[in-house]
A and B are shown apart, each in its own frame.
Chain A
Amino acid sequence: MAVFDLALCTLILLAALAAVAGPGLFRAVVFFVVYGVLIALAWVRLGAPDVALAEAAIGAGLTGVLLLGAVGRLSRAGADEPLTSRIDWPVALAAGLVGAMLVWAVLSLAPGPGLAPAVAEILPQTGVENPVTAVLLNLRAWDTLLESVVLLAALIGLWPLARGGAWQAAAGPVHHALPDGVLAGFGRLLPPVALLVGVYLVWAGAYQPGGAFQGGTVLAAAGVLCVMAGLVRAPGMAAPLWRLALVAGPGLFLALGVAGMAFGGFLLFPTALAKGMILAIEMVLTLSIAVTLALMVLGPPEGGGAQ
Chain B
Amino acid sequence: MLPAILKRAGLFSAIWIMLTGAAPDALAFGAAAVAAAVWLSLRLLPPVGTVRLLRMLALVPGFLWGSLSGGLDVARRAFRPRPGLRPGWVTFPTRLGGGARAALGGELSLMPGTLAAGCSDGRLIVHVLDTGAGFDQAIAQEERRIASLSHRA
A and B touch in the complex (CB under 8 A): yes
Query: In the complex, which residues of chain A have a beta carbon less than 8 angstroms from the beta carbon of B99?
Result: 180, 185, 188-189
Contact status B102-A180, CB under 8 Å: yes
Nearest A residue to B106 via CB reads A182
Contacts of A226 in B (CB 8 A): 44
Q: How large is the interface on B (under 10, 10 to 19, 20 to 34, 35 or more residues)?
A: 20 to 34
**Distance between Cα atoms of A197 and B102 in the complex (Å):** 24
Q: Report which of A189, A191, A197, A203 forms a contact with B29, defined as CB distance below 8 A.
A: A203
A188 and B101 contact, Cβ closer than 8 Å, known pairs A181-B119, A197-B19: no
Chain B residue at minimal CB-CB distance from A223: B40
B44 contacts A187, CB within 8 Å?
A: yes
Interface residues on A, range: 20 to 34
Within 8 A of B (CB), among A137-189: 178-182, 184-189
- Are B44 and A196 touching (Cβ within 8 A)? no
A231 contacts partner chain B, Cβ-Cβ < 8 Å = yes
Contact: A196 with B102, CB < 8 Å? no
Q: Are B15 and A196 in contact (CB under 8 A)?
A: yes
Q: Binary interface profile of A, 179-209, with partner B (CB < 8 Å = 1, else 0)?
A: 1111011111101110111011001100000
Contact A195 B118 (CB under 8 A): no
| Interface hit among B31-39, B74-82, B83-91 | B31-39
The answer, among B33, B41, B43, B98, for a CB contact under 8 Å with A199, is: B33
Name the one of A179, A193, A232 contacting B15, with C-beta atoms under 8 angstroms. A193
Q: Are A195 and B102 in contact (CB under 8 A)?
A: no
* Contact status B118-A196, CB under 8 Å: no
- List A contacts of B24 (CB < 8 A): none
Q: In the complex the two chains form, is A180's CB within 8 Å of B26's CB?
A: no
Given A185-B103, A199-B29, A200-B33: A192 and B40 within 8 A (CB)?
A: yes
Flag if A196 contacts B26 (CB, 8 Å): no
Q: Do A203 and B20 form a contact, CB below 8 Å, given A185-B102, A192-B12?
A: yes
Question: Is B16 a contact partner of A200 (Cβ separation < 8 A)?
Answer: yes
Chain A positions within 8 Å of B26 at CB level = 200, 203
In the bound complex, what is the Cα–Cα distance between A144 and B19 (angstroms)? 27
A200 & B44 in contact (Cβ 8 Å cutoff): no
Residues in chain B near residue A185, CB distance under 8 A: 98-99, 102-103
A283 to chain B, nearest CB (A): 9
CB nearest to B42 among chain A residues: A192
Q: In this assembly, does B105 line the interface, its C-beta being within 8 Å of a C-beta of chain A?
A: yes
Could you give, for residues 80-99 of chain A, a 1 whenever the CB lies within 8 Å of some chain B CB and a 0 otherwise?
00000000000000000000
**A195 with B101, Cβ < 8 A, contacts A188-B44, A200-B20 known:** no
Alpha-carbon gap, A193 to B20, bound state (A): 14
- Which residues does chain A contribute within 8 Å of B132, judged by CB atoms? none
CA distance A186 to B101 in the complex (A): 12
A307 to B47, CA, bound (A): 24
Q: A180-B98, A203-B29 are in contact. Are A196 and B19 (CB under 8 A)?
A: yes
A residues apposed to B, CB below 8 Å: 178-182, 184-189, 191-193, 195-197, 199-200, 203-204, 226, 231-232
Q: List 22 A-B contacts (CB under 8 A).
A: A179-B98, A180-B97, A180-B102, A181-B118, A182-B106, A184-B102, A185-B99, A187-B44, A188-B41, A188-B44, A189-B45, A191-B40, A191-B44, A193-B15, A195-B36, A195-B40, A199-B32, A200-B16, A200-B19, A200-B26, A203-B20, A203-B26
Given contacts A192-B12, A196-B34, A199-B36, 20 further A-B contacts (CB under 8 A): A180-B98, A180-B101, A182-B102, A182-B118, A185-B98, A186-B102, A187-B44, A189-B99, A191-B41, A192-B8, A192-B37, A193-B12, A193-B15, A193-B37, A195-B40, A200-B16, A203-B20, A204-B20, A226-B44, A231-B44
